[in-house]
């Protein structure tokens, strides 16, 4: 910058004004500055700029998700990017792998880098450690799950509503023995989906298997249920991997055309499988987009945004009870 000023024969302040487009500068001087910038290949240092600036905005945000390579969360990521980019804001991203200490570590590092905001899929039992950043002026939005032990904006799917819709759908096809196969109930989404399941069941018997954390768990639980005494005629799987495990198990038993199945969260290529996999689809991109919008709005009040889900009928959920 000093170089540019020297070559253009102006002061540092003028270069700054031209480069930032702030303040009035005589056109011919501005042109000389631009010329020098081109000649020297000058590019202003945004970090130094942030340091000195009055508003101290770094035009960067942090995003903490479970895993950047998980299709659900990478769609959330894209949603956030799509609202950040038009604002000229860059995104730092990190995977927490559902480990609380990684979540904290990432939040810590992002904070030390002076991000203007943080979008976070919380996994720690307690997010109150973020109060410091919040008070320091970092905007905060939680996504997929609400925060615990601290207030804050949150954008979540309609987990309970989607689950109710799935179960009601199965009931409409005559099912009275509908099993729920769910994730760790400690996770908000799993607990909400089970709540929806129970609500929709009414007086029908609840058949529940929870704490299933992999497709293998889903596979085993499905086998066990269907080979048991009073097997269910329909399955409602509360998560992606569990759905896949259930499909494999139904195939292994040759029951994929006789036992109904609705999964929560969409399955890639769910329509190419036979029968097609009926699901309650979430909209992860919208989740990210709404979170980003909330982040930049910088509202005071804590808001909970609920993104609707959609039931997609592809065959497996429309198999009748008998």
Residues of the shown chain interacting with a second copy in the complex, contacts defined by CB under 8 A: 41, 43-48, 50-51, 58, 60, 67-71, 74-75, 77-78, 81, 85, 88, 90-95, 108-114, 132, 244, 247-248, 251, 267-269, 272-274, 285
**Nearest CA among 307, 266, 309, 310 for reference residue 156:** 307
Nearer to a second copy, 149 or 186 (CB): 149
Q: What are phi and psi of 234, to 5 degrees?
A: -145, 150
Residue 53 site contact among DNA, a second copy, none (CB < 5 to 8 Å, cut-off depends on kind):
DNA
Closest distance of CB 81 from a second copy, Å: 6
User: Which candidate, 9, 37, 39, places its Cα nearest to that of 21?
Assistant: 37
CB of 152 to a second copy, least distance (A): 19
* Residue 125 binds: one of DNA, a second copy, none (C-beta under 5 to 8 A by kind): none
Give min distance, CB of 266 to a second copy, in A.
11
CA 271, CA 288: separation in Å to the nearest integer? 25
Q: Which of 160, 158, 169 is nearest to 316 (CA)?
A: 169
How far apart, in whole angstroms, are the C-alpha atoms of residue 267 and residue 257?
A: 18
Q: How far is the CB of 97 from DNA (least distance, A)?
A: 29
Nearer to DNA, 1 or 131 (CB): 1
Residues in 76-105 that interact with DNA by CB under 7 A: none
**Residue 44 interacting with DNA (CB under 7 A):** yes
Interface residue with DNA, options 7, 40, 49, 71 (CB under 7 A): 49
- Candidate residues 6, 31, 38, 48; the one interacting with DNA per rule CB under 7 A: 48
Quote the least distance from Cβ 184 to DNA, whole Å.
Answer: 39
Instruction: Name the β-bridge partners of 268.
Output: none
Residue 311 engages DNA in binding (rule: CB under 7 A): no
Cα 13 to Cα 1: distance, rounded to the nearest angstrom: 10
The site for DNA, by CB under 7 A, has a size of 29
The residues in 3-32 that bind DNA, with binding defined as CB under 7 A, are 9-17, 19-20, 22-26, 29
Binding site for DNA (CB under 7 A): 1-2, 9-17, 19-20, 22-26, 29, 43-45, 48-49, 51-55
């Amino acid at each position: 910058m000093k170089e540019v000023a020297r070559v253009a024969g102006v002061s540092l302040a003028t270069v700054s004004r031209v480069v930032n487009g702030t303040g009035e500068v005589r056109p011919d001087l501005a042109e000389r500055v631009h010329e020098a910038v081109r000649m020297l290949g000058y590019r202003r240092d945004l970090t130094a700029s942030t340091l000195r600036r009055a508003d101290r905005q770094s035009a960067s945000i942090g995003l903490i998700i479970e895993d950047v390579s998980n299709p659900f969360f990478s769609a959330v990521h894209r949603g956030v990017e799509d609202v950040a980019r038009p604002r000229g804001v860059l995104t730092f991203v990190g995977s927490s792998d559902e480990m609380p200490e990684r979540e904290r570590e990432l939040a810590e590092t992002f904070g030390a880098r002076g991000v203007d905001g943080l979008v976070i899929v919380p996994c720690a039992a307690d997010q109150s450690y973020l109060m410091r950043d919040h008070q320091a002026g970092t905007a905060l939005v939680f996504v997929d799950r609400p925060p615990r032990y601290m207030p804050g904006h949150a954008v979540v799917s309609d987990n309970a509503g989607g689950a109710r819709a799935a179960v009601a759908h199965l009931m409409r096809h005559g099912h009275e023995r509908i099993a729920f196969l769910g994730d760790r109930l400690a996770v908000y989404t799993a607990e909400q989906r089970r709540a929806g399941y129970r609500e929709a069941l009414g007086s029908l018997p609840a058949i529940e298997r929870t704490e299933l954390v992999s497709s293998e768990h889903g596979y085993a639980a499905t086998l066990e249920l269907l080979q048991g005494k009073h097997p269910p005629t329909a399955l409602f799987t509360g998560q992606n991997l569990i759905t896949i495990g259930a499909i494999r198990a139904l195939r292994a038993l040759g029951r994929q055309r006789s036992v109904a199945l609705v999964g929560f969260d969409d399955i890639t290529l769910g329509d190419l499988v036979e029968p097609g996999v009926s699901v309650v689809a979430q909209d992860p991109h919208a989740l990210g987009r709404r979170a980003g919008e909330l982040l930049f709005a910088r509202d005071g009040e804590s808001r909970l945004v609920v993104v609707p889900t959609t039931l997609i009928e592809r065959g497996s959920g429309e198999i009748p009870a008998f």
